A = this chain, B = another copy of it.
Amino acid sequence: MDTIQASSGESNLREVLRSNECEPQCEPTQFRNYSHSEIILENLQSLRKNEVLCDTGFETKDGTLVLGHKNVLIAASPYFRAMFDNFDESNKDLVNIRELDSMVLKILVDYIYTGEFIVTKENAQVLLSSANILQLDFVSAACAEFLQKQLDASNCLGIRAFADLHNCTDLLSSSETFIKKQFLEVVKN
Whether the pair B165, A9 counts as a contact (CB closer than 8 A) is: yes
Nearest Cβ distance between residue A46 and chain B, in whole angstroms? 8
Which residue on B lies nearest to A2, using beta carbons?
B95
Contacts A40-B75, A162-B10 given; indicate if A19 touches B149 (C-beta within 8 A).
no
- Chain A: residues with Cβ within 8 Å of the partner, total of 93
Nearest Cβ distance between residue A49 and chain B, in whole angstroms? 13
Name the residue in A31, A98, A150 with the highest tally of chain B Cβ atoms < 10 Å from its Cβ: A31
- Set B40, B71, B133: member contacting A76, Cβ < 8 A: B40
Q: Bound state CA distance, A4 and B95, in angstroms? A: 8
- Mask, A104-115, CB within 8 Å of B = 1, is 000000011011
**Does A185 have its Cβ within 8 Å of any Cβ on chain B?**
no
Whether the pair B28, A120 counts as a contact (CB closer than 8 A) is: yes
- Mask, A58-78, CB within 8 Å of B = 1, is 100000000001111011100
Known pairs A6-B130, A9-B165, A36-B41 / 7 extra A-B pairs, C-beta < 8 Å: A3-B95, A4-B100, A20-B155, A23-B152, A37-B38, A37-B115, A39-B76
